[in-house]
Every structure is written in structure tokens, then in C-alpha cells.
Structure 1
Amino acid sequence: MTMSNPEMAAALRDNIARLTARQHAEARQPSLSDRIADRITGFTGSMTFVALHLLVFGAWILVNLGVLPILPRFDPSFVVLAMVASVEAIFLSTFVLISQNRMASAADRRADLDLHVNLLAEHELTKLAGLVQRIAEKLDVAIDDPQFHEIRKDIEPTQVLDALDETRREENVQH
């Protein structure tokens, strides 16, 4: 990573290193059940799982249709196959939901961090706009841009959230 400002690059590298270390620490902390759910979800989302199911269910169907006489027909009506598939679907969907909940929680934390960083940047830019205005006044330079005066207004985070909530409520009413 090449940056023109070495201080910024050092600060950026430091922030990246700290965030990466935190992510690694959090990745080592999941409970045993979360790790099991993640492993199962990872396996069931693979082509190996699909191939295994094609083989097992295919063989089950072919044996019970009488096409493969390697075993006697043990489920000619496929009721047991349907039950096995249903129970498997229940458990697999539960494992997927467990993994998705953990991922959603991590995404929520990242979104909160993004919001905090953005609000801090907004506040800092407001302060900089005030400084620019004072410099312009000292140099007797007129600021004619109406948007500049908007930039000078400090944003209250709760007002932004309230406005977003109101917009969502209005959209829900319309739909």
C-alpha cells in the first residue's frame, strides 16, 4: 500500500492491524455449538454434500424401485425416505439459521462501527467548515455557496435515525 502521507499510512496500517486482530480474536471465541453449526453448514453447502445425497438417495430410490437388486426393497412406498429427508431438512435449516444469526450479528456490529465512524467524520467536517469560514472571513473572501452553510450545521445522530425511521414507516404505509 503506497500513500503520499506517511503519517496517514501509519495510522491506517495501525487501524487495519487492530481491527484484523480483533476479528481473529472474535473468530476464535465461538461456542462449541456455533463451531459445530458452522462446520455442518459449511459441509452442507458443498458439492460433496450434493454428490453424497445423489448417491445415497439415488441408491435408496433405485433399490426400492427394484432396479438395483443389491438389497431387498425396504421402503417401497418411500415413506421412510420422505421422513428422513424431512427430518434432515429441519436440522439443516436450523444449522443454517444459527450460522446466519451469527453472521447478522457481526454485520450489525460492523454497521454500528460504520455509523460511528461516519458520525465522527461528519462532526469533524463540520468543525473544518467552521475553520474554513473563519479563514475566509479573515481573508475577506465571500462564501456564496448555500450548501456551505448547510455543511456548517452539526448533525444530531438521533435526528438522522428518526428521519430514517419516519421514511421507513411512510414506505410501509404506502405498500
Structure 2
Amino acid sequence: MQPEFVNSSPHHPVVVAHQAQRRADVQLRIADAITAFAGSMPFVYIHAVLFTVWMVFIEPDPWPKLTLIVSLEAIFLSTFVMVGQNRQAAFQQAKADHDFTEQEQELKTNTQLTREIHVLTTELHRRLVEDAGR
């Protein structure tokens, strides 16, 4: 017997839909790119080199400007982190809703199958009892 639905994607349907939505929105693609870069080691290395060069070679008293720049950068990066957390929460909710719907459908199907098996078993028992009585 062939299954009714064969998922050709290795990912959950909610994941596929979520990825398609993200690809379609330019702002989300930009936010994803910034978040991916900001969470990488190249980001750390670049900052370490730039701040070192700036403090040693460019600015004789780097602390006031450095404090300002690092504070502003932290504000923007923390905002990107919160945006990412909100997107992740929305994705998790969509997946949970999808899973709940699928589980409810599975429960209904299993309940219906159990009822049909009960009816068939009762009928089979009735026929066996009648045949034994003859």
C-alpha cells in the first residue's frame, strides 16, 4: 500500500514555509545576514584588530570615543538579538500549532480505526457464536 503523502523535503513543513517567508522579505534577509555575521568569529577578529589599531595608532586618547562607539554597537546588536528571538519564538509557535493540528488529526484517525475494529470484532464474535450454536 502506497502512503498518501510522501514529503520530499528533509525538513518539517513549517520549517519549509518559514524559510520561504524569510527569503521573500528583504528586511528579514538583511537582519539574518547581520545576525549571522555578528555571531561569528570573523566579527570578533575584525573588531579586535580594528580596536587595537585605532587605540594604538590612530587615537591618542581613545576611551571616550571608544565607549561611545562600543555602546552604540551594543545597542544595535542587542536589538538584532531581540529581533532574532522574536522570530524564533514565532517560528516555534507556528511549529507547535502545526504539530498540534497533526496530532489531533492522528488521534481522530486512530479513534475511528479503533471503533471500526471494535465493530468488526463484535461482528466476527457474533458470527462465531452463531456458527458454534448450529
Of Structure 1 and Structure 2, the greater helix share is in 2
Q: Which of 66, 69, 84 pairs up with 1:81?
A: 66
Count of residues in correspondence between the two structures = 124
Cα 1:24–1:38 change in 2 (3 A) is: closer
- What pairs with 1:89-168 in structure 2 (closer than 5 Å)? 89-140=74-125
Quick check: 1:37–1:96 contact (8 Å CA) kept in 2? no
Q: Deviations for 1:49-89, whole angstroms, at most 9, x for unmatched residues?
A: 0101111223344x2xxxxxx445132xx122122111111
**Cα distance 1:36–1:81, how it changes in 2: closer, same or farther (>3 A)?**
same
Provide structure 1 residue ranges, at least 5 long, that are not aligned to the other structure.
64-69, 142-175
Residue 43 of structure 2 corresponds to residue 58 of structure 1: no
- 8 Å CA contact 2:35–2:81 kept in 1: the answer is yes
Deviation at 1:23, TM superposition (A): 4.8
Ranked by relative contact order (alpha carbons within 8 Å, sequence separation 6 or more), the top structure is 2
Counterpart Cα distance in 1 of 2:105 and 2:73: 48
Give the CA deviation at 1:120: 0.4
Q: Quick check: 1:11 aligned with 2:5?
A: yes
Whether the aligned pair in 1 keeps the contact of 2:18 and 2:91 (CA below 8 Å) is: no
| TM, length-normalised to structure 1 | 0.60
- Tell me: CA distance 1:39–1:24, structure 2 relative to 1, closer, same or farther (3 Å): closer
Q: Unaligned 5+ residue runs, structure 2?
A: 127-134
User: How much has 1:124 moved relative to structure 2?
Assistant: 0.8
- What letter is aligned with 1:116? T
Name the CA shift for 1:72/1:121 in 2 (closer, same or farther; >3 Å): closer
Identity of aligned residues (%): 31
